[in-house]
Structure 1
């Protein structure tokens, strides 16, 4: 056997490859690995159960700098099986996985995705908070965060009443001029807090606010509109939303 290494992470996706193999996208603390898993499409594969999407796993692999690493064996730390039994939860997590795969990860993204999965597994509504925090981190990393320190047009800090996707930030009553529906004060505070929070603030933000599915979809669409990135799994999530 060639030299191997152990890696730990979360399975973002599994893509069929050749006749019976698969390619795993594994989110680790600092990067995304592409790993070839031989024979996992076969029902008798010993590795089939350790390559389920959204599982927290530990793998022994032959790691290659150029090309696909090769999976030898591994074990499941946490399967998050309840997520795959719920159409809404799994749809949200597939959107997150697609976004993370497109923009890559870091320790904060890894931590937020892990917490989001755990909360969904435990049927906790706070999962939406972690999902929105994760999106906010990616939006900031891409340099497309909304301006939330005042009105983006006139820079005044009072009488702020809404958020404009077109303008890229908050608008005051004068600059908005009834173009966009006003948001409540609580919503404006919540948006500002989302983009001003550092990692040390996440616990407090989680206690103070309650984000929901509409918030999550809004920030995915913000990503799409600002950098012309099509999140293909979002369409399915919206179709699931209409069923609830």
Structure 2
């Protein structure tokens, strides 16, 4: 049965003479769409097949690569694309999906995380997405206090560190509280983070993925 499916374009690649391969992340996982004639300036698919677009299209069941049919743009996120720096920041989320999400993961949940982060976009949403994604990938950040005074958070043990413990900390108390908010609050409820804390948490997020996934990434 052919149904409509939403997807966010995570990358685009030229294909044959006039077509493009459009890589999309959807509630059923990563799919590759062939956008016929989309390299032509007059093609209606040219704008459709653009990076970060939220599109809707006809699904071809049981296939991971098929021709893009009856596609429509549901959100082009032009406010994000106006700035190269902002677009690059948003690209961290698609990079995490392409690099770490496997076919066995909960795509419906992850897609909603990504879609909502794009709709409520701000730089804090990128970090929030990254930390929320870890839970969906099975990497739990133990942020539940046990009543003792908190000193900070340890990356390798993935847990809070308490006053009196000899365990080193990678985040101090203030940064750990921000991590808690980023991990559990909805995107629209997260306040702006000061630059010094934002870049510290961003670096921590990269370090956490690299350490626990045992794989280096292209930092942006």
Q: Same fold by TM (over 0.5)? A: yes
Aligned to 2:115: 114
- Aligned partners of 1:139 and 1:45: how far apart in 2? 39
Aligned to 1:173: 163
Question: 1:75 Cα deviation (Å)?
Answer: 1.9
Name the SS of the counterpart of 1:133 in structure 2.
helix
Tell me the TM-score normalised to structure 1 length: 0.72
- Aligned partners of 1:193 and 1:85: how far apart in 2? 28
Contact 2:148 2:163 in 1 (8 A): no
Contact 2:12 2:51 in 1 (8 A): yes
Query: Would you say how many aligned residue pairs link Structure 1 and Structure 2?
Result: 212
- Aligned partners of 1:224 and 1:165: how far apart in 2? 11
Aligned to 1:163: 153
Aligned to 1:124: none
Name the SS of the counterpart of 2:88 in structure 1.
helix
RMSD between aligned residues: 2.9
Residues 17, 217 of structure 1: CA spacing in aligned structure 2 closer, same or farther, 3 A cutoff?
Answer: farther
Cα shift readout 1:117-147 (whole Å, capped 9, x = no counterpart):
2334xxxxxx234323322222112222232
- Aligned partners of 2:66 and 2:17: how far apart in 1? 18
Contact 2:28 2:107 in 1 (8 A): yes
- Aligned partners of 2:69 and 2:170: how far apart in 1? 55
- Aligned partners of 2:110 and 2:78: how far apart in 1? 21
Return 5+ residue gaps in structure 1 as ranges: 121-126, 151-155, 238-244
Cα shift readout 1:87-120 (whole Å, capped 9, x = no counterpart):
2211121111121233156333323322322334
| 1:62-77 equivalent positions in 2, closer than 5 A | 63=60, 65-77=62-74
| 1:90-169 equivalent positions in 2, closer than 5 A | 90-102=87-99, 103=101, 106-120=107-121, 127-150=122-145, 157-169=147-159
Tell me the TM-score normalised to structure 2 length: 0.79
- Aligned partners of 1:89 and 1:182: how far apart in 2? 26
